[in-house]
């Protein structure tokens, strides 16, 4: 077989794979149109701890670590900071719109070793379970420094206990 034919076949396969991925992502987003947009951080909320640097892992439907929420940009991994405030948890994300997990919507917080596409050591990802409109979701955040994980979980857990 001629070399140029091989290159064309490989290029065609790559294009087909890219089209399939785009089609799948678009279908996932269209199935999730009922998922509400997350709240945006607003003035008047005060940080109660220093920001925690790290990586936003993803948001998935609660209890389904492989079912990514694709709509509203929630399924895209990026670097950023998690900020615990008196009004909830702010995800301050690089290159994306920040969002707020309102204090009243937080159901629980714990750690996990994996969420869609990101698997780390035991307890390496902070997982916040919260209500996004009518949908219960899990949001994952991986602190850059492991020493920040437990204090972050404890601050969020205290916020849940103190909630009215």
66 vs 47: CA distance, rounded Å: 31
pTM of the complete model: 0.79
Segments of 21-157 assigned E as strands: 52-61, 78-85, 88-93, 99-102, 106-112, 114-115, 118-119, 125-132, 135-143
Nearest to 144 by CA among 60, 81, 97: 81
**pLDDT tens-digit series, residues 54-88:** 999 999 888 888 888 877 888 889 999 999 999 99
**pLDDT tens-digit series, residues 97-145:** 899 999 999 999 999 988 887 888 888 999 999 999 888 999 999 999 9
DSSP code for 144: S
Dihedral of alpha carbons 29, 35, 157, 91, sign: positive
């Amino acid at each position: 077989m001629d070399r140029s034919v091989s290159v064309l076949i490989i290029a065609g396969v790559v294009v087909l794979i890219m089209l399939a991925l785009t089609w799948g992502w678009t279908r996932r987003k269209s199935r999730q149109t009922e998922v509400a947009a997350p709240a945006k951080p607003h003035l008047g909320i005060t940080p109660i701890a220093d920001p925690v640097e790290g990586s936003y892992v993803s948001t998935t439907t609660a209890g389904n670590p492989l079912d990514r929420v694709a709509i509203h940009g929630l399924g895209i991994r990026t670097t950023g900071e998690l900020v615990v405030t008196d009004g909830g948890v702010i995800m301050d994300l690089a290159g994306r719109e920040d969002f707020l997990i309102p204090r009243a919507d937080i159901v629980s917080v714990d750690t996990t070793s994996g969420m869609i596409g990101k698997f780390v050591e035991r307890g390496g990802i902070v997982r916040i379970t919260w209500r996004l409109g009518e949908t219960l979701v899990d949001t994952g955040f991986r602190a850059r420094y492991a020493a920040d994980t437990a204090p972050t979980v404890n601050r969020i857990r205290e916020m849940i206990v103190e909630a009215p």
